[in-house]
Amino acid sequence: MTRPLSVGLAGLGTVGAGLLKLLRDNAAVVTARAGRPIAVTAVAARDRTRDRGVPLTGLRWYDDPVALAADKAIDVVVEAIGGSEGPARALVTAALAAGKPVVSANKALLAVHGAELAASAERAGVVLGFEAAVAGGIPVIKALREGLAGNHITRVAGILNGTCNYILTVMRERGREFAEVLAEAQKLGYAEADPSFDIDGIDAAHKLAILAALAFGRPVAFDAVHVEGIRRISALDIAFAGDLGYRIKLLGLARRTEAGIEARVHPCMVPQAAPIARVDGVFNAVVAEGDFVGRIMLEGRGAGAGPTASALAADLIDIARGRTTPVWGAASGALSDAPSVPMAAHVGTYYLRLMVVDRPGVIADVTAVLRDEGISLESMLQRGRSPGEAVPVVLVTHETREAAMSAALARIAALDAVLEDPAMIRIEPA
């Protein structure tokens, strides 16, 4: 029998334990597809006493992940530690320097240091696999880098964070406020004790930076991604979105324009009939548009032991078969130097919700500001009257530039009759 592919696994949390279980439970199918057995032979983790739910007997154990990378009996290193710095970065750097292929589920590491690590992998002539870093078990990395390799990709968009999608889904279905649903999500294990990484959009931005690099064939550029989260989304805005024929989703969107690459993460209103609008709960989805393939959409579970282990195993099978692809789809010298487009240059339509004192002249003051900034209105919605009291007013604009909208919002917020900061949500066509 062909010699097994020997794997060194760093990190025995949910993801690492899930990979161990998959490689053992599905050993026969993995061997058939890889052409040889794949076996974890060494591990690195901090606590040797903790029960991971899988047997660890017979495995060589390292307390220091970097020492794992130096084990000459290991053919490939799997990094399942997490984080953009510290042990994860040190391990991957050391493994590539030692000429060992690396498979990682670490979106933060790839988003922040992906250009540097890709260069290291290219110099060493080894694989850096990261299918598991974006959208869990959805094979979106292979789809963009290999399946759509013959296309010019013009746009990629997706629901990239299951925690946010779950919160927005429950808010819509039950008419509840953000803070209440977040607390419930934490109790159910869908949100971390400190949920800021998810709800402030950072997790989705890491993943979008990776997708944009693959889609547009340029070095990863996390710093160029505009990021907003969902903390300010209210049940009132979700209800108004429904009235207008939309659903609110936190989307990552990257687009090729004549000026360069636009990459942004923020809440969006999408038409209720759009396929991505119907992706609910903890599910993820990615849409890609190519010049020959048209539009495709991939949907599935974006996190968890099983889906992430599935993606890690796919990369290991490629390595066992000797299949190699440049990290970002092309050699470093062939990557694009397309510039990043600032958010202020974005052009789109906008939803505005104002809480104003119900008195004559208020709407005239608001529309005067919009007129001065060159913004025209498509529609206005006001329900009921309450003279002298606060009432919501909803405005939907025609296409306008982000910079103009930002200037208008600052002026509208300063009006005496406007009682709180305006709520603004960008509208995406699909």
Query: Which residue numbers are catalytic?
Result: 207
Q: In what order do the strands lie in the sheet with 76-79?
A: 60-62, 38-44, 5-10, 76-79, 102-104, 128-129
What string of H, E and C letters represents the secondary structure of the chain? CCCCEEEEEECCCHHHHHHHHHHHHCHHHHHHHHCCCEEEEEEECCCCCCCCCCCCCCCEEECCHHHHHCCCCCCEEEECCCCCCHHHHHHHHHHHHCCCCEEECCHHHHHHHHHHHHHHHHHHCCCEECHHHCCCCCCHHHHHHHHCCCCCEEEEEEECCHHHHHHHHHHHHHCCCHHHHHHHHHHHCCCCCCCHHHHCCHHHHHHHHHHHHHHHCCCCCHHHCEECCCCCCCHHHHHHHHHCCEEEEEEEEEEEECCEEEEEEEEEEEECCCHHHHCCCCEEEEEEEECCCEEEEEEEECCCHHHHHHHHHHHHHHHHHCCCCCCCCCCHHHCCCCCECCHHHCEEEEEEEEEEECCCCHHHHHHHHHHHCCCCEEEEEECCCCCCCEEEEEEEECCEEHHHHHHHHHHHHCCCCECCCCEEEEECCC
Place of tokens 């047997």: 55
Given CA atoms 40, 46, 49, 54 in this order, what sign does their dihedral have?
negative
Task: Using DSSP bridges, classify how beta strands 390-397 and 347-357 pair: parallel, antiparallel or unpaired.
Answer: antiparallel
Q: Which structure tokens are listed for 16?
A: 């690492």
Contact 365, 417 (CB under 8 A): yes
Place of tokens 């869990």: 136
